[in-house]
Structure 1
Amino acid sequence: MSEPLSRIRIFRAEAVAAAMLAMILLTAGCQAGPPPSAGGSFAVLPMMSRKGTAGGPEESRSLLSRWVGTPSPKEDGDLHPASGLILGPDGWAEKDESMQDRRAAEFEAAEQLYLQGDFDAAERAFARIARRERRPKINLLSDPVGSVPSLEQYDPSRSPWGMKALYYLGEIRFRQGNYVKAHDTFEELLKQYPGTPHLDEAVAREFEIAQIWLNQVRPSEDRPPLPWHSRFKGSLPLIDSGGHAVAVLEHVRQNDPTGPLADDAVKLIADHYAASGDFENAAFYYDQLVNDHPKSPLLHDALLASVDSKLNAYIGPEYDFSGLAEARETVRRTMQLFPERRASTTDEKGDDLYRKLDLIADQEAERAYSYGEYFRSAGYVISAEYYFGMITQKWPRSPWAEKAKQQLAELATMPRKESAPLKTMTQPGASDPFSQGISSGNLGSLGPGGSVGP
C-alpha cells in the first residue's frame, strides 16, 4: 500500500473520532446544563427572557402603537391622555399647551376690542387670526411628511379660532358698511367650515347685503339709495349692482337650501327679473319657488306672479305660444290649491283667475285667426275655413269669434280648388299606397303578421 493512501485513511479515522467526541460532549451538556458562568453557544438563551432589544417583538409593538393604536406607556406605566396628543411626523406627541393658551388669549383680546367698539383694531386682529388659521395648501403627493406639524393643519375645523375669527371679521365689515368684503368673508366662512354654527347669521347677513344692492337698482320709499361714491368705499360693486345681488341671493339658497330665507331669496330674484322686464326668467324662478317650497307662505303670490309673467312673456301670435298653455295650467293649479280665492270678485281677496283664463283664450283665438288669414291669402279656402270655424266653436265668446264668422261668410262664396294629386299617383303604373292599407311611414313593407295593412 502506498504512503498517500495510508495518510488519507489515518485522517478519516481521526475525523470520525473527533465527531464522536463532539457528540458525547454535546449529550453530556444537554443532560447537566451549562454552569451559570459558562459561555458558549447556549449563553444567549437567557437573553430571550429579557426585555426585547432593537428589532424584537416589543419594539414592533411599540412602533405599531405609535401610529395605529394607543401610544406606548411611560416608564411609570401611565398612558398619555388621548386629548393631549397630536399625530405628527415622528409619532404621537404632546400638544403645546402654552401655544393653545396664547391663541386663546389672542382671540379674547380681539373679541374685547370688538365689544368695546374699536372695529378697526378688532378687524386687524381677527384678520391676523383668520390668516394664521387658514387651511394650508399642502400637496400630499409632493410635500414631505415632515412639513406637516399636526393633523390640525389638515382639518382647521378642529380649532375654533379660525371659524370664529372669520365670523367676527365679516360682522365687523358689515357694520362698517364694507358690504363687498363682508360678503367675501362670509362666503369664505361657509366654504371653509360647512357645518359652522354661524350658518344662520352668515346667511342672514348675505340676504341683507342683497337687499341693499337691489335697493340701489329700484329704491324703495323708506330706504334711500347709497351715494354714488359708495362704489369706491366697498359698499357697492363697481358695476351691475343688480347682477351681484342676484348672485348673492343664489348663494343664500345654495348655502342653506332648506333655511328660512331660501324661499325669500328665490322670490326676490324673480321679482327683480319681473321688474326688469325679463319675464321668462321671472316665470322660471316663480316656478322654482312653487316646486321647491310647496309649503312656503309665499306660494300663493308666486303662483299669481308666475301666471302674469308667462302672459307678459307671450309676444304675439307669430311667436312661441307654449307659455299660454303653461299659464293655463298654473291657473288651474292655483284654483285647486286655493279654491276659496279663485272667484272673480271686487274685493282684495279675489284673484280674478277667471278673467286670466279669458285672456288666455282670447290670445289663443287671435293666434287661430292669424292662421286663418294666412291660409286665405294663400288661396287655401278649406284650411282657412278650418281655423275660422275652430274659433267659433272653441271660443264663441271671444271678440275674435265675430270676425271669424265674417270671414266664414266670405269664404263660402269663394271657389274651392281641389288639391292636385301627387306625381306618384298620376304616373303610369303608380298606385296609392294608402289604398292598400299600408300605414304611413311604412310604405315599403307589410304590416304586422306578414299581411297587408296594420
Structure 2
Amino acid sequence: MLRMVLVILALCAAANGQPSEMVLGPDGRWTTLERPAPTGDAKVMADARALLAEGKFRQARRLLDDWIDKNELEESPYLAEAYLLRADAKTAYGREYRALYDYEKVINEYAATSEYVRAVERELEIGIRYLNGLRRHFLGLRLTNAEDVGEELLVRTAERMPRSRLGERAILELADYYYRARELKMAAMCYEIFVQLYPRSEHAPRARQQRIFARIGTFKGPNYDAAGLADARVLIEEYAKDDPIGARRANLTDALLAKLDESMAQQSLEKARFYLRRDDPVSARLTLWRLIQDHPRSIAKVEAEGLLKEKGWASQPPARTGVAP
C-alpha cells in the first residue's frame, strides 16, 4: 500500500515538473508556454522522480547515491529533496527500515524545508505498518518483530507534529495498537491524551468509548484491584451526560453500570473474606458494611448481610470514618 502511494506521489511530482504550462493569452485563448528543461541538480531530482514514477526504484536510488556522495558536504538547496527521494526509493522496494535513516536526516537537519512534514508522514506510515504486523528484514527475509520501532515512530510523530492531523493520527493509532495488544492501561492513557489534545476531533467520541472499555478490561476479577471499574463508572456517567445518544449507541447504559456495580461489590466481598481468613474481624466488618452502603442493589449485598448476621455484626454498623487496612 505504501509503495503504491509513493509511486502516485512520484507521478504527481513528475507531472508538475514537465517543462510546459498553459497560459491565457490577451486574445482569450489558451496557449502552451514552453519552459526550459531542468538542468544540473534540478535535472537529477527530476530524473529521480521520473524513475520512481516508472517503478525503477533501485535505479533511482543509485542516481541519488551518486549525487548525495558528491554534494552531502555542500549547502545545496536540493539535499533535503535528495534524501527524501532516496528514502522513498528504499521504502518502495522493501527496505523501509534503512529508509528511516534518510527520513531522520531530513527531519533533524532540514526542519525548515517542505520535505520535513513529508518525512514525518512517511515515518508515521512505516510505524503503522510495523504495528500492524510488518516485520523487519533479517538475512533477506522479514523475520524480526518491529513493533517496538513502530511504537517509537508514532511517539516521535506525536511529539514532532503536536495538535496536527499527523499527531492526531499517531496517538489514535498507538492507542488502538495497545488496545489490540491488550496493554489496556497504556491504551486507556493514550485515549485520554487523545481526548485532551483533540476534543473536537471526529474520532473523539470513539476514543472516549474505547478509554472506558480499556479501563473495564483492566479488571481481572474479584480477587484483584477494582480501580479500573470505579474509573469506568465515572467515565460512563460523564459520557452519558455529554452525549446520551452516543452512550446508548455504544451500550454505555444503566445495564453496564449495573454490571460494574456488581463486579465492584463482589470485589469488596472477596476483600472481606480475605480479612476473615487473616483473622482481622474489624477490617472485614467495615468492608462488609461499606459494601452494603455503596452497592445496595447488588447480589453481593445479600451475601454480605448473611456474613454480618453469621458473625453477629448485623445490628452494629461502624461509622464511615477511617479506612480498612
Shared fold (TM-score, shorter chain, > 0.5): yes
Partner in structure 2 of residue 162 of structure 1: 79
Question: How do 1:128-207 residues align onto structure 2 when only pairs under 5 Å count?
Answer: 128-134=66-72, 156=75, 159-207=76-124
2:215 aligned with 1:310: yes
Aligned length: 275
Partner in structure 2 of residue 246 of structure 1: 151
Query: After the TM superposition, which of the residue ranges 267-276 and 112-121 deviates more from structure 2?
Result: 112-121
Contact 2:128-2:154 within 8 A present in 1 as well: no
Partner in structure 2 of residue 409 of structure 1: 309
Structure 2 unaligned blocks of 5 or more: 1-37, 317-325
Following the alignment from structure 1 to structure 2, what is the Cα–Cα distance between the partners of residues 353 and 183? 46
Contact 1:173-1:181 within 8 A present in 2 as well: yes
- Which of 369, 373, 379 in structure 1 is aligned with 2:269? 369
Matched AA of 1:412:
G
Partner in structure 1 of residue 58 of structure 2: 120
Using a 3 Å threshold, how does the CA distance of structure 1 residues 203 and 410 change in structure 2: closer, same or farther?
A: same
Partner in structure 1 of residue 25 of structure 2: none
2:292 aligned with 1:392: yes
2:159 aligned with 1:261: no
Contact 1:279-1:313 within 8 A present in 2 as well: yes
Following the alignment from structure 2 to structure 1, what is the Cα–Cα distance between the partners of residues 226 and 149? 32
Following the alignment from structure 2 to structure 1, what is the Cα–Cα distance between the partners of residues 146 and 253? 35
Q: Per the alignment, in what secondary structure is the counterpart of residue 352 of structure 1? A: coil
Matched AA of 1:168:
L
Q: CA deviation at 1:391?
A: 2.2
Q: Per the alignment, in what secondary structure is the counterpart of residue 371 of structure 1? A: helix
Summarize deviations over 1:13-65 as a string: whole Å, max 9, x none. Answer: xxxxxxxxxxxxxxxxxxxxxxxxxxxxxxxxxxxxxxxxxxxxxxxxxxxxx
Summarize deviations over 1:183-237 as a string: whole Å, max 9, x none. Answer: 22112111111122123432332232223223326xxxxxxxx8x9x54448x5x
Choose between structure 1 and 2 for higher RCO, CA contacts under 8 A separated by at least 6 residues.
2
Partner in structure 2 of residue 111 of structure 1: 46
Summarize deviations over 1:371-402 as a string: whole Å, max 9, x none. Answer: 32234445555543332222223212212112
- Which of 298, 313, 325 in structure 1 is aligned with 2:230? 325
Matched AA of 2:291:
I
Larger CA Rg, structure 1 vs 2: 1
Following the alignment from structure 1 to structure 2, what is the Cα–Cα distance between the partners of residues 260 and 113? 29
TM-score of the superposed pair, with normalisation by structure 1: 0.54
Q: What is the identity percentage for the equivalent residue pairs of Structure 1 and Structure 2?
A: 20
Q: CA deviation at 1:339?
A: 2.6
TM-score of the superposed pair, with normalisation by structure 2: 0.73
Question: How do 1:208-287 residues align onto structure 2 when only pairs under 5 Å count?
Answer: 208-216=125-133, 230-233=137-140, 239-287=144-192
Partner in structure 1 of residue 320 of structure 2: none
Contact 1:110-1:125 within 8 A present in 2 as well: no
